[in-house]
Amino acid sequence: MKLIVGLGNPGAQYEKTRHNIGWRVVDAFAEKFRIAVSVHEKNAMTGSGRVGGGSVLVAKPLTYMNLSGDAVRLLTNSYAESLADLLVVYDDIDLPAGKLRIRPNGSAGTHNGMRSIIASLGRDDFPRLRVGVRGGEYDRLRDYVLDEFSPEEQPLIDRSIERAVDALVLFCRGDLRRAMNEFNRDEEAEAGS
């Protein structure tokens, strides 16, 4: 079974913030494949279905971002045969809004949710999909990631969510390498070739 975890914060006030892009990607993926994310278990809301010929569980931790590792560890221990079956989707302030980066492993960078997950799992060798959320200048990182996207940014973000869903399909099919090749490139470069 593949396990896809989208990071975010619970509560209506965070729903459309930059920090909740992981939840938005998981919601879009679940909607596309008619997966009801309605089971409350292991500090998360989960839903299961079949995608790409195999079973998948999607999850949205209900812990706040800084404690995401608690839920991810419980889910991984219960549902993933190996860490290669886990993929975490989260916002990345170091990437321009709309850019996607898929990696098979890596550090947490400046992301507190990923720091929590790596600390809880004791390892960093699991796939992740980073969605760029940097739009303009900001003074305080915490305030910026808890802000909503501007109306000008929203079409770009909507498109990046669609592309992220397509990348997750390839992950479900066991083709992380192809997902990296297709979605780590800039869309503009692809359109020009």
pLDDT tens digits along 68-107: 999 999 999 999 999 999 999 999 888 888 899 999 998 8
The residues assigned a catalytic role are 19
Two structure tokens written together for 43: 């500090």
In order of their start, the domains of the chain are: 2-192 (3.40.50.1470)
CA 6 to chain centre: 4
* Each residue's pLDDT tens digit, 107-126: 888 888 999 999 999 999 99
Write down the pTM of the prediction. 0.91
Mean pLDDT of 25-34: 97
CA atoms within 13 A on the CB side of 41: 15
Q: In what order do the strands lie in the sheet with 44-51?
A: 39-41, 44-51, 54-61, 2-6, 86-96, 128-134, 100-103
Question: Which comes out higher in pLDDT, residue 136 or 105?
Answer: 105
How does the average pLDDT of the chain come out, rounded? 89
